[in-house]
């Protein structure tokens, strides 16, 4: 049996016995075979001795059982690591940050406690997946939409707490932004409700976020200060219609006015959808001429890239814009968008799918980009799975996701910085493309496959780590990262001698003095482990 | 790893291609809407569990990467749909569910219990020839 660090075998055995008394023997997992099920299925340490593994897992079915587990863990100083559905793949999955932790598996807490159509909200437990809530809404015939991430089998609670996002309009696609009220088991076992949930007779827990006094919900996201056992979410009323249309522009430097126009339209509410700026130039099939340009010391000039795009007869940049709402309003929004982007010479416009709701099952079956309509799907796994265009499937992926300003200049600069670094590091240069899930800023994404080859994974990890540091040098922090890189990613937020991290540590020491909850999550370590590290 | 960058670009391209593929793989004979289907009472347990836990990836229709992967792997030599196969063993099904394969992750017992996995395995081997 693997034993948590710093815990005696006797204490661990006693804690396991008490866990079994709290939740039932069948829901405490200690055999090697069972504990292996909690491995990170997409671990960047696949097949290496450094892979982070749990010592055991315990799966409660109720808030009271969570409270009991937390108290037992405190008694024996057992590090525990809550997971919701364990499907945060690419960001650590169901494995802890600290090897030897006991995973607190909340999947059995999968109750949909309330879905309110009149006021468009839901209250759910951590084990509820997007598929679960979607099925519930469909079965009840409610005129409500979910916002779903890719893929849809994750937990609403877990995804929101890790600042995950989806594709429909804001605030719904920013899953933490669209939450309203949470219930938390603190490290001492006490139960806390935020916002209006703190008023015992309030009926507005899922309608008014702030309550009175400091708004503390944020400290329970990307942290280790409590175990969230319930969470409310605002849902989007089913719109009348949906339409997607793409704007294309032909030249390298067009991205500057393109983003300016787009940002103005977004900030004024004309455009409210997930943004992914595409580039047929960079996204095209493998091409020697493109690789030659990227390999040049300057990565290719604007003129050279424009020449490349003209030769290939492809547009340089584009973005599909999705519109949701009344069809007459959508028509007017799209006309306005076209009018605005027409200021860029050579801009072209491409109509895409349009729907009126509700869809029939047959129509739903034919929808390509389901997540844009709030329909959970696992289709995103086509990205790494075996397919006609991908004969060698991956074993998972990592995402570098740096937050950069929403300007064309910032996109070009970040692309140049990373491309130059790739050349210097001996990595085939590539070009990341910006997306926008949350308010205002871009996230520049770079994907890394997890392979069967240990050496390849080692090199990818080294590159990932260097990219994190390089990004930080330029003022670009991550919005989220894999558990293996949380210390590095958190270290970028270093203003005033890491004042923010030191504040997090102060909170940690106050609310979890024994350091039992999710040691190391997002760089926040318990006091004793900080001492050991230094 | 010399192909890191290429992997990124290729990965994104795969995504785009994959999302453009549905027209090729769309199955018109069924309106199976697996993301919203809750089998009616009385359905065999294995079918119910398969529908809830597996078919969103291995079912038919648009956006089913498990089906797409098996079509790419076997090129029609065996059905791409798991529930149409007659050559799977229960041991193999359990091995993949509990260990994962490629992009398919491990499934824990809190997600699919041993009893549910037994039922799924029985359902997927129901048409095997003795």
**Which residue(s) pair with A443 in the sheet?**
A403, A435
Please state the rounded mean pLDDT for residues A406-431: 95
Mean pLDDT of all residues belonging to chain A: 96
Q: Per the CB < 8 Å rule, is A387 touching B69?
A: yes
Please state the rounded mean pLDDT for residues A42-63: 95
**Residue A464: which pLDDT band, with cuts at 50, 70 and 90?**
very high
The shortest C-alpha distance from A155 to chain B (Å) reads 12
Tokens of A89: 């793949």
Of A39-48, A129-138, A371-380, A384-393, the one with minimum mean pLDDT is: A384-393
Q: Please give the DSSP secondary-structure letter assigned to residue A478.
A: B
Cα–chain center distance at A286: 29
Backbone angles phi, psi at A323, to 5 degrees: -125, 140
Largest CA distance in chain B: 55
Is 70 exceeded by the pLDDT of residue B32?
no
Model pLDDT, residue A174: 98
Model pLDDT, residue B13: 32
**With an 8 Å Cβ cutoff, is A392 touching chain B?**
no
Q: Please give the DSSP secondary-structure letter assigned to residue B53.
A: H
Give B-chain residues touching A369 at CB under 8 angstroms: 19
Please state the rounded mean pLDDT for residues A305-328: 97
**Residue B41: which pLDDT band, with cuts at 50, 70 and 90?**
low
Residues 15-74 of B with CB under 8 A from A: 15-22, 26, 31-33, 35-38, 56-57, 61-66, 68-70, 72-73
Any idea which architecture B4-124 has in CATH? Orthogonal Bundle (1.10)
Q: How far apart are CA A132 and CA A134, in angstroms?
A: 5
Q: Which helix (H) or strand (E) holds A83?
A: strand A80-83
**Residue B42: which pLDDT band, with cuts at 50, 70 and 90?**
low
Please state the rounded mean pLDDT for residues A517-532: 95
Please state the rounded mean pLDDT for residues A247-268: 98
Q: How far apart are CA A258 and CA A263, in angstroms?
A: 9
Model pLDDT, residue A532: 82
Please state the rounded mean pLDDT for residues B75-92: 96
3-state secondary structure of A436: strand
The three-point CA angle A81-A82-A83 to 5° equals 120
The three-point CA angle A524-A527-A532 to 5° equals 100
Active site residue A480: yes
Give the pairing of strands A442-449 and A397-404.
antiparallel
Is 90 exceeded by the pLDDT of residue B1?
no
Residues 85-114 of A with CB under 8 A from B: 85-87, 89, 93-94, 105, 107-108
**Residue A285: which pLDDT band, with cuts at 50, 70 and 90?**
confident
- Check: CATH 3.40.50.2000 for A241-481? no
Active site residue A136: no
Q: How far apart are CA A157 and CA A229, in angstroms?
A: 8
Picking from B35, B73, B75 by the largest number of A CB atoms within 10 A of its own CB, the best residue to mutate is: B35
Q: How far apart are CA A447 and CA A464, in angstroms?
A: 9
For domain A493-533, the CATH superfamily is: Vanillyl-alcohol Oxidase; Chain A, domain 4 (1.10.45.10)
Q: Any idea where the domains of chain B sit in the sequence?
A: 4-124
Q: How far apart are CA A280 and CA A364, in angstroms?
A: 28
Q: Nearest to residue A91, comparing CAs of A463, A448, A383, A503?
A: A448
Q: Per the CB < 8 Å rule, is B1 touching A459?
A: yes
Q: Per the CB < 8 Å rule, is B13 touching A283?
A: yes
**Residue A272: which pLDDT band, with cuts at 50, 70 and 90?**
very high
Contact A322, A274 (CB under 8 A): yes
Question: What is the share, in percent, of chain A residues with pLDDT greater than 90?
Answer: 90
**With an 8 Å Cβ cutoff, is B115 touching chain A?**
no
Q: How far apart are CA A54 and CA A101, in angstroms?
A: 5
Active site residue A167: no
Q: Per the CB < 8 Å rule, is B106 touching A396?
A: no
Residue A357, C-beta contacts closer than 8 angstroms, at least 6 positions apart = A238, A239, A240, A241, A242
**With an 8 Å Cβ cutoff, is B105 touching chain A?**
yes
Give B-chain residues touching A42 at CB under 8 angstroms: 105
**Residue A365: which pLDDT band, with cuts at 50, 70 and 90?**
confident
Is 60 exceeded by the pLDDT of residue B34?
no
Question: How far apart, in Å, do the first and last CA atoms of chain B sit?
Answer: 48
Q: Report how far apart, in Å, the C-alpha atoms of A65 and of each of A59, A151, A364 are.
A: 9, 29, 40
**Residue A498: which pLDDT band, with cuts at 50, 70 and 90?**
very high
The shortest C-alpha distance from B130 to chain A (Å) reads 30
Hunting for tokens 């390298």 — which residue is that?
A: A252
* pLDDT tens profile A183-238: 999 999 999 999 999 999 999 999 999 999 999 999 999 999 999 999 999 999 99
Q: What is the CATH topology of the domain spanning A112-237?
A: 3.30.465
**Residue A385: which pLDDT band, with cuts at 50, 70 and 90?**
confident
Closest CB to A377 among B8, B35, B108: B35
**With an 8 Å Cβ cutoff, is A71 touching chain B?**
no
Q: Nearest to residue A369, comparing CAs of A94, A148, A90?
A: A148
**With an 8 Å Cβ cutoff, is A435 touching chain B?**
no
Any idea which architecture A9-105 has in CATH? 2-Layer Sandwich (3.30)
Model pLDDT, residue A501: 98
The three-point CA angle A527-A528-A532 to 5° equals 120
3-state secondary structure of A481: coil
Contact B108, B50 (CB under 8 A): no
């Amino acid at each position: 049996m693997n034993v948590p660090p710093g815990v005696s075998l006797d204490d661990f055995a006693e804690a396991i016995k008490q866990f079994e008394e709290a939740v039932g023997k069948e829901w405490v997992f200690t055999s090697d075979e069972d504990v292996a099920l909690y491995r990170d299925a997409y671990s960047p340490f696949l097949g290496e001795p450094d892979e982070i593994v749990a010592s055991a897992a315990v799966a409660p079915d109720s808030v009271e059982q969570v409270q009991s587990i937390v108290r037992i863990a405190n008694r024996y100083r057992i590090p525990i690591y809550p997971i919701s559905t364990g499907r945060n793949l690419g960001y650590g999955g169901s494995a802890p940050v600290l090897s030897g932790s006991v995973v607190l598996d909340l999947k059995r807490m999968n109750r949909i406690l309330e879905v309110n159509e009149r006021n468009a909200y839901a209250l759910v437990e951590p084990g509820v997946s997007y598929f679960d809530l979607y099925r519930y809404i469909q079965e009840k015939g409610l005129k409500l939409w979910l916002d779903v991430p890719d893929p849809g089998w994750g937990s609403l609670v877990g995804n929101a707490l890790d600042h995950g996002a989806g594709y429909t309009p804001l605030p719904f696609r920013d899953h933490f932004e669209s939450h309203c009220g949470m219930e938390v088991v603190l490290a001492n076992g006490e139960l806390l409700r935020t916002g209006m949930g703190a008023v015992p007779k309030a009926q507005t827990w899922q309608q008014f976020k702030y309550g009175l006094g400091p708004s503390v919900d944020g400290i329970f996201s990307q942290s280790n200060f409590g175990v969230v056992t319930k969470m409310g979410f605002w849902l989007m009323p089913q719109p009348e219609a949906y339409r997607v249309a793409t704007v294309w522009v032909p030249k390298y430097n067009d991205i500057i006015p393109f983003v300016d126009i787009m940002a103005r339209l977004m900030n004024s509410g004309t455009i409210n959808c997930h943004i992914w700026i595409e580039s047929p130039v960079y996204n095209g099939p493998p091409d020697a001429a493109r690789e030659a340009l990227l390999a040049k010391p300057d990565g290719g000039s604007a003129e050279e890239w424009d020449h490349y795009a003209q030769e290939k007869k492809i547009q340089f940049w584009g973005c599909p814009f999705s519109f949701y709402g009344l069809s007459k309003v959508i028509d007017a929004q799209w006309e306005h968008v076209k009018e605005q982007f027409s200021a860029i010479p050579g801009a072209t416009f491409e109509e895409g799918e349009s729907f009126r709701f509700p869809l029939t099952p047959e129509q739903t079956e034919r929808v390509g980009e389901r997540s844009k309509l709030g329909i959970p799907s696992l289709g995103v796994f086509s990205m790494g799975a075996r397919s006609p265009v991908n004969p060698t499937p991956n074993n998972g992926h990592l995402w570098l996701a740096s937050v950069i300003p929403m300007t064309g200049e910032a996109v070009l600069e970040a692309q140049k910085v990373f491309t130059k670094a790739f050349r210097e590091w001996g990595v085939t240069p590539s070009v990341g493309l910006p997306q926008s899930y949350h308010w205002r800023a871009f996230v520049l994404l770079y994907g890394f496959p997890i392979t069967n080859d240990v050496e390849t994974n080692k090199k990818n990890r080294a590159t990932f780590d260097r990219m994190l540091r390089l990004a930080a040098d330029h003022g670009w922090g991550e919005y989220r990262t894999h558990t293996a890189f949380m210390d590095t990613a958190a270290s970028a937020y270093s203003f005033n001698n890491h004042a923010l991290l030191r504040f997090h540590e102060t909170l940690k020491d106050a609310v979890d003095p024994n350091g039992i909850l999710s040691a190391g999550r997002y760089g926040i370590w318990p006091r004793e482990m900080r001492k050991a590290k230094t | 790893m010399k192909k890191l960058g290429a992997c990124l670009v290729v990965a994104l391209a795969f995504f785009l291609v994959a999302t453009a593929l549905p027209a090729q793989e769309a199955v018109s004979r069924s309106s199976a809407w697996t993301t919203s289907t809750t089998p009616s009472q009385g359905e065999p347990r294995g079918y119910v569990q398969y529908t809830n836990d597996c078919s969103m990836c291995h079912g038919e229709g648009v956006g089913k990467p498990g089906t797409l992967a098996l079509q790419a792997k076997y090129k029609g030599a065996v059905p791409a749909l798991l529930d149409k196969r007659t050559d799977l063993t229960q041991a193999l099904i359990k091995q993949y569910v509990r260990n994962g394969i490629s992009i398919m992750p491990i499934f824990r017992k809190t997600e699919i219990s041993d009893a549910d996995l037994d039922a799924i395995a029985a359902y997927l081997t129901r048409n095997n020839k003795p």
